A and B are shown apart, each in its own frame.
Chain A
Amino acid sequence: MYRSAAKRLMPMFHRQVKIPPHNHIQSLSIFNSQSRFSTSSTSESFPNQNPDGHFDSSSSSTSTKAFNDEKKTSGHDHEAQNTRTARPGRAQYEEEQERVLRASLNHVIRFGWTEAAMIAGAREVGVSPSIVGSFSRKEAALVEFFMDECLQRLIDIIDSGVDLKDLIPSARIAKLVRIRLEMQAPYISKWPQALSIQAQPANITTSFKQRAMLIDEIWHAAGDDSTDVDWYAKRTILGGIYSATELYMLTDASPDYRDTWTFLDRRIRDAFDLKKSVQEAKYLAEAVGAGMGGSVQGLLKKVFPG
């Protein structure tokens, strides 16, 4: 439930730049103002970029006189319209970008999370490396792609039914976090670089969101269906554990990251014990209080006899 809700919410967070209708595009600030638009970030696009290639003249009729005039002057409208129909769907470049990113992952170990890896990836799939320039936040796009890929793989693993049923909740979570962290084990030597890219101010919102999605996914798979304030507490705690383990893993030289998994298990046990501990602490405090009260009373009695 949360998963689908989160997915539905996600696009809202992404910066949406709509193509404004003509005449409304001007930005109000005076100098240095940059109005941008893009055919990529919205479903609305130039009328002629519709997949069916139909030219929607109604939208351009709202334009200024000069605009109409230009159109008449061009005199090549018919030719242009013919080529338009033949053009493939507009999402094509996004698929190509994805292919490039996927291929780039093979080069990350050699070049790191860099433009060089992306250029090598583009060469591998036979696309001009110029395409790298079309990613607005170059290396971040690669890291974010990897994060999304890993999340998808984790979801697939969960959906294909890992044997989680017979595990207690803490063990389920430990297992899922481990599955996820093992995915980035091949890139461990370059992972600090990825973390630093994710921590850059321009990228931090996306990386935070991706982590939130991941944590939510893990709790969801672990069978958590809380709807109260616990929901936040649980996700905050697991987020902390996940990040701590991720960092521990970076410097872990033990075979198969054994130390990391021990660390993870202990942190999760601690967290689950915390609830119990809070209860125990309360009892203890009461007992101590009662004991203290008794001795204070005794002391007072001794000092002020009678």
Chain B
Amino acid sequence: MATTLRSVTRLMRRKNLLPMYRTGSMLHSHATSFGYKEVREEEKSQMVGNVFTRVASNYDLMNDLMSGGLHRLWKDRLVSELNPFPGMKHLDVAGGTGDVAFRILERINSVSRRAMRDAFEENLLEETKIYVCDINPNMLNVGQKRAAERGFAEEKSLVWVEGDAEALNFDDNSMDGYTIAFGIRNVTHIEKALAEAYRVLKRGGRFLCLELSHVDTPIVKDLYDLYSFSVIPAVGELVVGDRESYQYLVESIRRFPRQEKFAEMIADAGFQKVEYESLVGGVVAIHSGLKF
């Protein structure tokens, strides 16, 4: 058992290293990564788009299967970090299926129920706007369908917008909060997406990012690698009949900047009080920043 584990990880490490050397040489051809593959920048967004078009219908089922239901807790954690309030203007990028948006809305409603006697708050509740922005219309469709199932069909606070995280169609200083859950990894230029987040936020607005990240604890890391490279693509093939998309998923996680590097990128975009929190030993991380 131990030897197989070791050989698998050794194999993976070798796999890991090869594309890294390649990146350096392709630096000037505007190459970017699609999983471990090197693709031209223009192609990446299209390829990512294809992945999500393929997985959209089974997205939630697969999330549950892959994370053992933990992604629900992670999203809860994200929203409690955000601390939504009535009258909030919030932008949830890459939130096509509405998972985060529904949680924010529910939390605002429950907060305001507590302070119901205050008429002031009551008016504010109507001003609440949660924009769900996703580049992929298929994901938005799934989200809208789910909103209807949850009884949010008539909800005026939810606004579904098709848009690119790198070029948001919102005014400067217009948002109180910005969240991106499991999305920024798929963006071609992370810096551009961060700059856009900074642009649309008001002073005092907060940026929160939930993303699959890097595990460092030795044995856990090996198990996690084994799980993600052997189990996840297999499950993807079994359930959705699509191995490629899930192979991309696990590879793109490995290509995403490490926690501290990503925190630096957030700080570079201009955010202050940049913090991050690793959950489950680093399988996911919540990064946050404050705009001023």
User: Do A and B actually bind?
Assistant: yes
A73-B33, A84-B268 known; A46+B292 contact, CB < 8 A: no
Are A131 and B272 in touch, CB under 8 angstroms? no
**A116 contacts B277, CB within 8 Å?**
no
Contacts of B181-204 to chain A: CB distance below 8 A: 189-191, 201-204
Does the CB pair B277–A132 fall under 8 Å?
A: no
Q: Which of A25, A40, A73, A93 contacts B216 (CB 8 A)?
A: A25
Q: Is the CB of B257 within 8 A of A70?
A: yes
B136 at the binding interface (Cβ < 8 Å): no
Write out the residue numbers on chain B whose beta carbons fall within 8 Å of the beta carbon of A60.
264
Q: Which segment, of A30-38, A170-178, A235-243, A275-283, faces chain B?
A: A30-38
Which of B20-28, B51-59, B149-157, B238-246 is found at the contact surface with chain A? Answer: B20-28
A70: nearest chain-B partner, CB-CB: B257
On whether the beta carbons of A40 and B273 are closer than 8 Å, the reply is yes
With a cutoff of 8 Å between Cβ atoms, the chain A residues found around residue B23 in the complex are 69, 72-73
A16 in contact (CB, < 8 A): no
User: Which of chain B's residues have a CB closer than 8 A to the CB of A80?
Assistant: 191, 268
Q: Mark B270-292, 1 if CB is under 8 A from A, else 0.
A: 10111111111110000010101
B275 touches A67 (CB 8 A): no
**Which of B3-11, B80-88, B94-102, B140-148 lies at the interface?**
B80-88
Q: Mark A164-182, 1 if CB is under 8 A from B, else 0.
A: 0000000000000000000
Contact A39 B267 (CB under 8 A): yes
Contact check, B290 vs A134: say whether CB atoms are below 8 A apart. Answer: yes
Encode B233-261 as 1/0 by CB contact (under 8 A) with A: 00000000000000000000000011111
Contact surface of B with A, Cβ cutoff 8 Å: 20, 23-24, 27, 30, 32-33, 81-83, 85, 87-88, 115, 118, 121, 176-177, 189-191, 201-206, 216-217, 219-220, 257-261, 263-265, 267-268, 270, 272-282, 288, 290, 292
Closest 5 CB pairs of A and B: A133-B83, A26-B216, A127-B204, A128-B204, A131-B204
